[in-house]
């Protein structure tokens, strides 16, 4: 496909039973690789606060930060749909005009094609308002990290009958409000599968089992870059931290031993411009 993924493509993928891979992305260089590989959706997630900036939660992430990273991801992509997270306390069902201004800035300045908001039924008016203004919205229910201090910890949601019923009601309310997809985070696999079958829009799971229509993971977790901990729901597909460590050791040794730079890395007296104007 030569153009960017649209919300209609995603719906068609669900209808065809084609699973939807999605991964977080925060920078131009990684975005170029992921776009080339054919990831249909890249999420500029507020997880950047943890894996890129070293905070202990997503609560420190601001709208300016996600916009800054999203614009970089946009510059590196031509095919992947970019979904930008609206950060903590930048949207609220009790202030819809404020929510709309936030989403409009995120879309325009972050050059994204959709926004993601966390929250269940109480978020339906926000979703409805944004969608009515032409902004595609991805919902996010289950474990919602922006509410971590209300939830009391990073734990599986929807394990009691009452909690499961609440998640089902939330998914239906978000779909009715116009969300084009919903992230299900840390939801028991049978419940996530049930919700996925009930909805006509795709569900994207993270720690929600294989019965979802798609899967999302944090780039730094699955590429082996973030080594502080590996969530149970993630699998390492590369050892980027190991490669960087090895490369850095070789670089240090070469510099110390005078093996770098070599003649091929040095310039003679004739001024020669390299690609970056050096």
Active site residue 15: no
In angstroms, give the least distance from the CB of 15 to ligand KIV: 23
> Which one from 15, 18, 175, 185 is the annotated catalytic residue?
185
> How many whole angstroms separate alpha carbon 129 and alpha carbon 227?
39
Rounded least distance, CB 47 to ligand KIV, Å: 3
**Of 171 and 218, CB closest to ligand KIV:** 218
Which of these ranges, 4-12, 39-47, 169-177, 258-266, lies near ligand KIV under the rule CB under 6 A?
39-47
- Residue span 192-221 as binding mask against ligand KIV, x where in contact by CB under 6 A, dash where not: --------------x---------x-x---
Residue among 10, 80, 85, 126 that touches ligand KIV (CB under 6 A): 85
From 5, 30, 47, 80, residue interacting with ligand KIV (rule: CB under 6 A): 47
The H or E element spanning position 191 is: helix 189-198
Joined tokens for residue 199: 């909805």
Q: Among 30, 35, 46, 215, which residue sits at the site for ligand KIV (rule: CB under 6 A)?
A: 46
Position of minimal CB gap to ligand KIV: 45
The site that binds ligand KIV (CB under 6 A) totals a number of residues, namely: 11
Q: CA of 175: how far to CAs of 1, 68, 118, 221, 246, in Å?
A: 27, 29, 14, 29, 47
User: Closest approach of Cβ 45 to ligand KIV, in Å?
Assistant: 2
Q: Which residue stretch of 2-10, 38-46, 191-199, 220-228 sits at the interface with ligand KIV (rule: CB under 6 A)? A: 38-46
Structure-block tokens of residue 84:
């930008």
Q: How far is the CB of 148 from ligand KIV (least distance, A)?
A: 12
| DSSP assigned state of 119 | B
Is the bond into 261 cis (omega within 30 degrees of 0)?
yes
Give every CB contact of residue 190 below 8 A, 6+ residues apart in sequence.
Answer: 209, 211
Structure tokens at 171: 């998914």
Report the SS3 class of residue 43: strand
Distance CA 164, CA 178 (A): 22
Burial class (CB in 10 A: 0-12, 13-18, 19+), 163: middle
224 binds ligand KIV (CB under 6 A): no
Least distance (Å) from ligand KIV to the CB of residue 183? Answer: 5
CA dihedral 157, 160, 163, 164 (to 10 degrees): 90
- Among 112, 170, 183, 199, the residue binding ligand KIV under the rule CB under 6 A is 183
Task: Point out which residues bind ligand KIV (CB under 6 A).
Answer: 24, 43, 45-47, 85, 183, 185, 206, 216, 218
Question: Would you name the residues annotated as active-site residues?
Answer: 185
């Amino acid at each position: 496909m030569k153009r960017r993924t649209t919300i209609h493509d995603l719906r068609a993928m669900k209808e065809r039973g084609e699973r939807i891979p999605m991964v977080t992305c925060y920078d131009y260089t990684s975005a170029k690789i992921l776009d080339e590989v054919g990831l249909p959706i890249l999420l500029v997630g507020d997880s950047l606060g943890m894996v890129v900036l070293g905070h202990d939660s997503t609560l420190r992430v601001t709208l300016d930060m996600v916009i800054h990273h999203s614009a970089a991801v946009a510059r590196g992509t031509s095919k992947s749909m970019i979904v930008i997270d609206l950060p903590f306390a930048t949207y609220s069902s009790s202030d819809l005009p404020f929510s709309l201004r936030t989403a409009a800035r995120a879309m325009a300045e972050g050059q994204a094609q959709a926004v993601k908001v966390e929250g269940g039924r109480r978020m339906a008016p926000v979703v409805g308002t944004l969608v009515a203004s032409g902004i595609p919205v991805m919902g996010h229910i289950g474990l919602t990290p922006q509410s971590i201090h209300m939830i009391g910890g990073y734990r599986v949601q929807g394990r009691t009958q009452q909690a499961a019923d609440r998640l089902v009601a939330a998914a239906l309310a978000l779909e009715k409000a116009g969300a084009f997809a919903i992230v299900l985070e840390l939801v028991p696999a049978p419940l996530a599968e049930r919700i996925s079958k009930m909805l006509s829009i795709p569900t994207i799971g993270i720690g929600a089992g294989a019965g979802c229509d798609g899967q999302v993971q944090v780039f730094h977790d699955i590429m082996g870059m973030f080594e502080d901990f590996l969530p149970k729901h993630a699998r390492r597909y590369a050892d980027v931290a190991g490669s960087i460590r090895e490369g850095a050791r070789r670089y240090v040794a070469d510099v110390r031993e005078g093996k770098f730079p070599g003649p091929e890395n040095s310039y003679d007296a004739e001024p020669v411009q390299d690609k970056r104007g050096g």
